[in-house]
Structure 1
Amino acid sequence: MPPYSPDINKIEKFWARLKHHLRKTLDQFDGLQNAIDNALRFLS
């Protein structure tokens, strides 16, 4: 196995999903905290 394999590393998939959800829901910087809270609730 290569030393870095994002396809196998579960945390890489988590961060990718988190970033995708944040980009989808974040419309401005002021809503960042709410977007993070919502994304973490969505993913847990």
Structure 2
Amino acid sequence: MTIYSPDLNPIEHYWFKIKHEIRKVTPQFKDISMSVEHVMQFI
């Protein structure tokens, strides 16, 4: 089995950015689902 390296997996970078954006906008919305919906509109 090969050693797992998140740095070599591009999807890890995308998930990091998505989670970061969700955390930034969450205080503006009533719940997390609204935050996710808002962020996904811009992807």
Q: TM-score, normalised by structure 2?
A: 0.67
Structure 1 stretches of 4+ with a deviation exceeding 3 A read none
Which has more radius of gyration? 2
Q: TM-score, normalised by structure 1?
A: 0.66
Of structures 1 and 2, the one with the larger relative CO (CA 8 A, separation 6+) is: 1
Unmatched segments (≥5 aa) in structure 2: none
For this pair of structures, how many residues does the alignment match?
42
RMSD of aligned residue pairs (Cα, Å): 2.1
